[in-house]
Amino acid sequence: MGRKDLLEEVEGLLATYCEGCFLKKQHKKDHGKRFAHRFCITACTVGEKIKVCGAKLSQRP
């Protein structure tokens, strides 16, 4: 999988699942932006998929 494919996959995940996410909106309202972002990165399954793509991008020269 090339760099362009990985970036397209990340964009697709963000567009499909993250835009308009109720959990992110609610966490941001209740606990703040930093908490909501941390939740997305550590606890959300979509965030985990994005992290995997990011790790693959980091490995490439």
pLDDT tens digits, one per residue of 17-37: 999 999 999 999 999 999 999
Residues 18, 57: Cα–Cα separation, whole Å? 20
Q: Range of 15's domain?
A: 3-59
pLDDT of residue 60 exceeding 80: no
For residue 1, name the pLDDT band (cuts at 50, 70, 90). confident
Model confidence at 59, in pLDDT bands (50, 70, 90)?
A: confident
Percentage of the residues of the chain whose pLDDT score is greater than 90: 90
As for how many domains the chain has, the answer is 1
Find, among 59, 53, 58, 52, the residue nearest to 5 by Cα. 53
User: What is the rounded average pLDDT of the residues 38-58?
Assistant: 94
Residue corresponding to tokens 């494919």:
5
